[in-house]
């Protein structure tokens, strides 16, 4: 929970700094879990600061960047920096990151292997 709150604080900080004062609507592209859930927590906090948060859910990792590059989104929240850098290079998209965020822990499970060396 502490990591989520720290991540949320970073998002709030950078979102409010990155947006011009005259535009109080944030349209953010997210993947279903955990990014959508985090934004649902952020939504009332941003509303207290005078912002409206619209969450657009995507079920793939390409469309959030495409929609952001086409200016259908204000920001997106779903990827790590190497993925973004690769997509920017491959597709010549004028995108950059504004804050480092959490990385989900991953587990490896196998019925055959007992160690990663197998």
Query: pLDDT at residue 82 above 80?
Result: yes
Give the model confidence (pLDDT) of 20-75 as tens digits. 556 899 999 999 989 999 999 999 999 999 999 999 999 999 999 999 999 999 99
Backbone angles phi, psi at 114, to 5 degrees: -100, -20
Question: Half-sphere exposure of 37 toward its Cβ, with a 13 Å CA cutoff?
Answer: 6
28 Cβ partners below 8 Å, 6+ apart?
A: 39, 53, 54, 55, 56, 73, 74, 75, 76, 77
The residue behind tokens 């950078």 is 14
Is the preceding peptide bond at 34 cis, omega within 30 degrees of 0?
yes
Report all structural domains of the chain as residue ranges with CATH numbers, in order of start: 23-91 (3.40.190.10)
* pTM for this prediction: 0.73
Instruction: Give residue 114's pLDDT.
Output: 85
């Amino acid at each position: 929970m502490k990591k989520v709150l720290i991540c949320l604080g970073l998002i709030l900080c950078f979102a409010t700094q990155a947006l011009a004062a005259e535009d109080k609507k944030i349209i953010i592209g997210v993947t279903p879990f955990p990014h959508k859930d985090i934004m649902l927590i952020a939504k009332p906090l941003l509303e207290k600061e005078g912002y409206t948060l619209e969450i657009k859910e995507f079920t793939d990792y390409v469309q959030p960047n495409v929609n952001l590059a086409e200016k259908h989104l204000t920001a997106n929240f779903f990827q790590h920096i190497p993925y973004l850098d690769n997509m920017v290079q491959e597709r010549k998209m004028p995108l950059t990151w504004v804050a480092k965020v959490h990385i989900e822990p991953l587990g490896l499970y196998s019925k055959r292997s007992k160690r990663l060396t197998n």
